[in-house]
Amino acid sequence: MDYPLFHFKKFSVVQQDVAHPVGTDGVLLGAWADVAGSDSILDIGTGTGLIALMLAQRTAGQVPITGIELHPGSATCAALNYRNSPWADKLEVRNQSIQEFASKASSQFDLIVSNPPFFTETTLSPNANRQMSRHTNSLSTLELLDSVARLLKPTGKCCLILPEKEAAVLCEQGVLKGLYCSKKTKVKSKPGRPVERVMLQLERDPGRFAVDELVIRNEDGGYSEGYKGLTEAFYLEF
């Protein structure tokens, strides 16, 4: 399915034949993930390439970024968006599963990011593309964590965004792979609303942990100062 062209301050995102279009989850993760000290970055399930492009902007095009995308249409679209960006020479996409990539990779990464599949209901979406991008049939939590454990450097970080329930499960299962949650940001749409997403940072060191909260909109419907501060380098209206 084709979606409208999405413009950011320093790049634009074509959305032709993608499994999942640009959304708030990707913007949140791309702005939140800690890029400090990263000399190599991996984006698992790059989709349109949004998160990889945001990270390229944040690292001023100095860090090589590899995007992994299983869905052929999305991989083609991501490659186009990479080529059309100011950081084309630092971005590459691989049209394969992360399981296959991890089994053959000869190097590790300082930062791994992913906006992974999270719907686990038995009733799947009738849209095959959306089903691939949003259901764990194509990538289970344990398969994701196993790939991260193989590909993350000893001092590296893995940053993800998930619904609260799935985030809790991932943290529990991560311990079995030697990956510990060192930072957690709970995301709410408005004050007083339930937590809708959780952003997680996993590391191999179990010695530290911090938690905070981000509210996207104020009671009046306008964007909160916290959300604007996080994303103002990207959105045209900020």
What percent of the chain clears pLDDT 90, i.e. is strictly above it? 86
The arithmetic mean of pLDDT across residues 72-83, rounded, is 97
Q: What angle do CA 15, 13, 218 make, to 5 degrees?
A: 100
Report pLDDT digits (tens) over 5-56. 999 999 999 999 998 899 999 999 999 999 999 999 999 999 999 999 999 9
140, pLDDT greater than 80: yes
DSSP summary character for residue 177: T
Which tens digit of pLDDT belongs to each residue from 52-69? 999 999 999 999 999 999
Burial 100-123 (b: 16+ CB within 10 A, else e): ebbeebeeebbbbbbbbbbbeeee
Architecture category of domain 3-231 in CATH = 3-Layer(aba) Sandwich (3.40)
- Least reliable range by pLDDT among 48-62, 133-147, 150-164, 176-190: 133-147
d(Cα 204, Cα 106) in Å, to the nearest integer? 20
Domains of the chain, by residue range, sit at 3-231
The tens digit of pLDDT for each residue in 193-224 reads: 999 999 999 999 999 999 999 999 999 999 99
Q: Is 7 exposed, middle or buried (0-12, 13-18, 19+ CB in 10 A)?
A: exposed
CA distances from 189 to 89, 108, 130, 219 (A): 36, 35, 23, 10
0.85 exceeded by pTM: yes
Phi-psi map region of 61: left, alpha, beta (phi>0 left; psi -120 to 50 alpha): left
Q: Which pLDDT score is estimated for 45?
A: 96
Scan for tokens 């686990």, then name that residue. 120
